[in-house]
Amino acid sequence: MICPRCGSNHITSQVITETTSNEKVKGFGWIKACIGFLLFSLPGVLCGLCGMGKGRRSTKTSSKVEYTCQNCGNRF
Ligand SMILES: [Zn+2]
């Protein structure tokens, strides 16, 4: 492993973990609750919120490795 900028082999690697949650799916639960309210009043809201809690909310965990050059500070 060498730095693509300066060609040095003084490279440190770091694992970065990112967790992203899908807000759109969350919003869909609330829309469902609103539709439920319009159709069935209060029981509809409860059904909509139950559907939301059932885990259509998707969380995505992605990890990537970042390399930092000790010579020039280049990250890649
Ligand atoms: Zn470098």
Average pLDDT over residues 43-65: 72
Cβ atoms within 10 Å of 36's Cβ, excluding its own: 20
Ligand 1 centre distance from Cα of residue 12 (Å): 11
Ligand 1 centre distance from Cα of residue 75 (Å): 8
Distance CA 33, CA 26 (A): 11
Ligand 1 centre distance from Cα of residue 18 (Å): 25
- Number of domains within the chain: 1
Distance CA 56, CA 62 (A): 19
Predicted confidence (pLDDT) per residue in 18-51, tens digit: 898 876 656 667 778 777 778 877 666 676 666 6
CB contact at 8 A, 71 and 63: no
Ligand 1 centre distance from Cα of residue 26 (Å): 43
Ligand 1 centre distance from Cα of residue 15 (Å): 19
Note down the domain range covering 29: 11-69
